[in-house]
Structure 1
Amino acid sequence: MSVPDEARPSGGLYRSAHAAGDDAAPPPDGVTLISVDTPNPGAAVTGEQALPPEEPPDETSTAGNSAIMAAGSLVSRVIGFARNALIGMTLGATVGNAYTTAQFLPGQIYELLLGGILSSVLVPLLVRRRKADPDRGQEYTQKLLTFAGTCLGIATVLVVIAAPVFTAIQAGRGTPAYQDLVTAFAYLMLPIIFFTGLSALMGAVLNVRGHFAAPMWAPILNNLVVIAACGAFILFFGTDEGLGPETITTAQIAVIGLGTLLGMVAQTAGLLPALRKVGFAWKWRWDPRGLGLREIGRLGGWMLCYVAANQVAVFVVVSLLNSTSDSDDASVLAFNNVFLLTMMAHGIIGVSVMTALLPRMSAAAADGRYADVSADLSRGIRLTASALAPIAVAYTVLAAPLCVTLFQGGKYTPEMTFATAGVLRVAGFAVLPLSISYLCTYTFYSLQGNKTAALINIPVVAIRIAAYVLLFALLSASLAAAGMTAANALSYVASALISLAVLRRRIGRLNLGSVAGALARVLVAATLAAAFGLLVLRLLPGGARPERGAAILQVAVGGSVIVVTYVVAAALLRVREVSQVIGMVRRKLGL
């Protein structure tokens, strides 16, 4: 499950999320569904990482690229939410869970095959060859695409043949009919692995050649095709409430499953004109020895370890949630919808902070100025906390109207909607730890520490899996997805604490006193915002279970009150980072 997550010039521009689409499940943000770390392609080569671009783009070019990517990401996220909402409305709880479970598989397997090393190893190598080779890396890129495409094709065929094995693990203790449905969807959707990899490689080729628009906008084609498939499903088969694993027909499975596959095909095909525009011509060149596979393997080994640990956790959480898939309880579909909302908040705020700070931190680390690295990390945590606090409050206070507005309708029943709202309330407490853990991990990347980040991730994933199992055993089926979300939040906190402890040993004092003071002021402002938000929510029509019209009103009015209250309170408490973040995000969006 990946998400997702935002392209950025220095901290994840080439990540595999672009291949998967901004809101697909597993999404875009190159991040696995429950990952707290994303590789940084811009780290300098040591024993652990590959070379960054030698000549960064000028500020005017960077600003223009950022605006293009931000616009593409925003549009794709809006359309992606429409896509996910339609999936739920079209398929309902049980079939929607089966569909989402099958849809996770291509992303999980792709990350193991290529996604983990694409951004951290292959893209920097393409950049280096483009600068060093007389043909500007044309022949090397052709060799890489030939080898990677062939391996992806063979792997995809083998995975499709083994689909029942993967779905037996992923489908958990669902009924035989449910497991068969997951397998049927998987047969149609696992070929996405090949097109995801091809799209990611093509996007990397374009990015290395300075073309950023197409890789950011191509996922929109993916989402539109899936939306069209949902429309065709409703047109041809109606909205029968009795849809389930035992009653769904082969034609219905084909419309949704093939529509999802065709979405990824459309995304890949959408990059071909851009490749021609930048002058890249593909040619079959089979020369694995000429790729330097030993170097690629050495550089990508720790990233593979990192990704593999995350994918084990993904299999565990999906399997556990599928044990509740025979009812209308919030399960895989709801869990994924909420996770996308969590990643949206992180993408808008957390990534903006990291994009601004990472180049400075990398430069300071390269010069041995660890005090400056520490100061930037401290500043980043304060900025992130200050900006994400009102979003976390909104997710917690406005969970019900948000879920009604975004997801309710068709087969996504009110019961499913309000169960999803319970998951979102818990996710409100995960937003801030998620972004802080990312920021700590990016600090390791600035210090050229892929190995350290991978080693830290192992106990973090162990904590996450243990929390999954424990909470699943203690909670009822109706609270399972909320429990899994709480386990994620716990693992994010563990990741941040472990990372801060290791960073303190590596770079010295972290200025945590100033961080604690800022967080205390942010907490007071957020508490006041939550109190006023709850008060206004009680006064507005609709109550705790609003219809869509009342829900939209609650979101608009309640959200405005929360934001205004928080900003005023933060200003009175002298939380100066709030205004800084607003200005930074506006510059990122080109406003």
Structure 2
Amino acid sequence: MASVGRASAMLASGTMVSRVLGFVRTWVLLQAIGAIADGANAYSTATQVPNSIYAIIAQGILSAILVPQIVRASVHADGGKAYINKLVTLGILIFFAVATVATLLSPWLAVLFGARGAFAQLVTAFAYWSLPQIFFLGLYTLLGEVLNARKSFGPFTWAPALNNVVSIVMLIVFIVAFGGDPGSHRPIDAWTPGMIAVLGGGATLGIAVQALVLFFFWRRVGLTFRFDFHWRGVDLGSAGKAAGWTFAMLIGTQVAGLIETNVANTVATLNVASVTAMATAWLIFMLPHSIVAVSIVTAYYTRMAEHARAADHASFRSDFSTATRTISLLICFFSVAIIVAAYPISVVFTTASYVQLGNVLIGYAVGLVPFCILFVIQRAFYALGDTRTPFMFTLVQIAIAIAGVLLCLLIVPEYRAMGIALVVSGAGTVQAVVAAFLLRRKLRRLDGRRILGGLWRFLASAVVAGGAGLLVVWLLGGYSDGFAVQGKLTAIVSIAVIGVVMLAVYAGMLRVLRTQEFGAAWAMVQGRIPGRSGRSRGPE
């Protein structure tokens, strides 16, 4: 358990650095092209395809296949090295083919994502530079999951930091060469091929560096990559079967994402929140998920795969329960805190349209808790070698999301993006409930009493803390153009004050409710205080 804790801490620190740099990158990007400008929405639409495919690759197809398969292949005489080279060779070929075809289809993809006229031409120009990212994002995930399966978690977590550094440098070059546009005033016909190349090409360069740097860490885990096209006799059939269901899930999710982008693009040229605002809000939404959920689950995932291989269901359930409760303890607080401080948070990124960005952020944050719990459940199914069931409960989410997003066409333009975000949150919540039910049926028992007992305490404490936070926001003028939203510096100060007050109330409520998980966390903190270590015990 201590090793899992150290791995989670290392992953969290790497994710924190990467995400902080990601926030800096997004801030610089909005200073360069604005949050609601035509050019900004064209750029965001063009990057929608590689980002969407990466999200499914990272959260589904490769994680579902590689980690369990490599763990099983480790019993081979060569420790699974031949299997890894064959699988990576196949993956490289597939991602290269997909990236090439997608890039050639750029004009049609622009139309498919709802772009029309001059807006479509700009989307297409960006897409030619952005779509090659599919190959490098796939390669990054492929190499990183191999390292994770060999219990080398650091490189995969820290590589995005290098990507963000490269991207920030290229954005600064863009601003110096062509000027910034934080107020979203640059007309669509002002974009030149050079501007498009620096902005789109700079982003792709960062992702390429992020992927290729992982090759340098293979030797540390005893691997040397070489292309191996001899795929017979290495039992790739089971991996192919697993890939079939996740590929079907990918197609379904892409259809839902396509419809979301089309509906968002109906207001892309109306100077209201659209694709760029949604992408920025999603980045903020993903920060606690990445730092907390991904870091904890990544460390537990290999363990759960090992327990599944050994048919040790008791240990499997224990790891699942611990991961779920630990994540929920932290995520409940972050979810409510983001909702309460949405406007000051948005001011940090854009002062011109912070209300609209804040509304979209609230829409996403409502679904943060079920989103993170669903992430744990999906990994549990993948560790069990089951990719069919995640496909089934994802179909439920897809159906609800598509129907709800289409209904968002009835919403006035100013609130359409927020409506889409709320639909995504609602569909994800239903998906998480269905997924939990199916996992319980598969394992027969899920430690549900402890999980639900902790969850209601976390949520109740977070709601009380949220009430205190709303009072602070009101006192700071967050709802009346006051101190909290006057500028970036005042917003940062306000966020800090809101966070401290909410955290104090949240911790107090958890203690009042005698929350078991809080007691374990507090004992861990006391154990690190000089002179108190002998009187405190860590979590079991």
TM-score normalised to structure 1 length: 0.78
Distance 1:485 1:586, change over 3 A: farther
**For each residue in 1:94-131, what CA deviation from the matched residue of structure 2 results, as whole angstroms up to 9, or x when unmatched?**
22221122112123345778984322223444444454
Aligned equivalents of 1:63 and 1:504: distance in 2?
A: 26
Note if 1:399 corresponds to 2:342: yes
CA contact (8 A) 1:142 1:282 kept: yes
Deviation at 1:284, TM superposition (A): 4.0
Question: Which residue in 2 is equivalent to 1:79?
Answer: 21
Aligned equivalents of 2:298 and 2:137: distance in 1?
A: 25
Distance 1:584 1:351, change over 3 A: farther
Question: Which residue in 1 is equivalent to 2:404?
Answer: 467
Question: Which residue in 2 is equivalent to 1:53?
Answer: none
Aligned equivalents of 1:525 and 1:396: distance in 2?
A: 15
Aligned equivalent of 1:196, options 117, 137, 158: 137
CA contact (8 A) 1:366 1:447 kept: no
Distance 1:282 1:420, change over 3 A: same
Note if 1:308 corresponds to 2:251: yes
Deviation at 1:494, TM superposition (A): 0.8
Note if 1:343 corresponds to 2:286: yes
Segment drifting more, 511-520 vs 188-197: 511-520
Which amino acid counterpart does residue 137 of structure 2 have in structure 1?
T
Note if 1:323 corresponds to 2:273: no
**For each residue in 1:235-279, what CA deviation from the matched residue of structure 2 results, as whole angstroms up to 9, or x when unmatched?**
011125532322211111111011011112222332243335556
Question: Which residue in 1 is equivalent to 2:66?
Answer: 122
Aligned equivalents of 1:364 and 1:143: distance in 2?
A: 24
Report 1:502-541 matches (<5 A).
Answer: 502-508=438-444, 519-540=455-476
Distance 1:560 1:235, change over 3 A: same
Question: Which residue in 1 is equivalent to 2:92?
Answer: 149
Deviation at 1:439, TM superposition (A): 3.6
Aligned residues: 519
Distance 1:248 1:569, change over 3 A: same
Note if 1:297 corresponds to 2:237: no
Which amino acid counterpart does residue 108 of structure 1 have in structure 2?
S
Question: Which residue in 2 is equivalent to 1:42?
Answer: none
Which amino acid counterpart does residue 502 of structure 1 have in structure 2?
L
Aligned equivalent of 1:229, options 160, 170, 192: 170
Question: Which residue in 2 is equivalent to 1:550?
Answer: 490
Percent sequence identity over aligned pairs:
32
Larger fraction in helix: 2
Question: Which residue in 2 is equivalent to 1:107?
Answer: 51
Which amino acid counterpart does residue 401 of structure 1 have in structure 2?
P
Question: Which residue in 1 is equivalent to 2:195?
Answer: 252
Q: SS state of the match for residue 529, structure 1?
A: helix
CA contact (8 A) 1:138 1:280 kept: yes
Which amino acid counterpart does residue 271 of structure 1 have in structure 2?
L
Report 1:27-426 matches (<5 A).
Answer: 64-92=6-34, 93=36, 94-109=38-53, 116-134=60-78, 136-170=79-113, 172=114, 174-240=115-181, 242-276=185-219, 280-289=223-232, 292-351=235-294, 354=297, 359=303, 363=307, 383-405=326-348, 407-408=349-350, 414-426=351-363
Consecutive unaligned residues of structure 1, counting only runs of 5 or more, are 1-58, 409-413
Aligned equivalents of 1:449 and 1:61: distance in 2?
A: 26
Aligned equivalents of 1:353 and 1:275: distance in 2?
A: 23
Note if 1:560 corresponds to 2:487: no
Consecutive unaligned residues of structure 2, counting only runs of 5 or more, are 528-537
CA contact (8 A) 1:525 1:570 kept: yes
Deviation at 1:415, TM superposition (A): 3.5
CA contact (8 A) 1:361 1:376 kept: no
Aligned equivalent of 1:429, options 345, 366, 389: 366
Question: Which residue in 1 is equivalent to 2:412?
Answer: 476
Which amino acid counterpart does residue 337 of structure 1 have in structure 2?
T
Distance 1:365 1:531, change over 3 A: farther
**For each residue in 1:466-491, what CA deviation from the matched residue of structure 2 results, as whole angstroms up to 9, or x when unmatched?**
11111x12311111121111111111
Aligned equivalents of 1:137 and 1:355: distance in 2?
A: 20
Question: Which residue in 2 is equivalent to 1:570?
Answer: 510
TM-score normalised to structure 2 length: 0.85
Which amino acid counterpart does residue 529 of structure 1 have in structure 2?
A
Q: SS state of the match for residue 165, structure 1?
A: helix
Aligned equivalents of 1:218 and 1:351: distance in 2?
A: 15
Deviation at 1:283, TM superposition (A): 3.5
Q: SS state of the match for residue 271, structure 1?
A: helix
CA contact (8 A) 1:352 1:585 kept: no
Which amino acid counterpart does residue 415 of structure 1 have in structure 2?
A
Deviation at 1:507, TM superposition (A): 4.7
Segment drifting more, 211-220 vs 552-561: 211-220
Deviation at 1:230, TM superposition (A): 0.8
**For each residue in 1:349-397, what CA deviation from the matched residue of structure 2 results, as whole angstroms up to 9, or x when unmatched?**
4446656876579849965867x87787677665544432322221121
Distance 1:147 1:500, change over 3 A: closer
CA contact (8 A) 2:346 2:354 kept: yes
Deviation at 1:155, TM superposition (A): 3.0
Aligned equivalents of 2:456 and 2:8: distance in 1?
A: 33
Deviation at 1:582, TM superposition (A): 6.2
Aligned equivalents of 1:199 and 1:61: distance in 2?
A: 25
Aligned equivalents of 1:357 and 1:278: distance in 2?
A: 19
Note if 1:452 corresponds to 2:452: no
Deviation at 1:318, TM superposition (A): 1.3
Q: SS state of the match for residue 194, structure 2?
A: helix
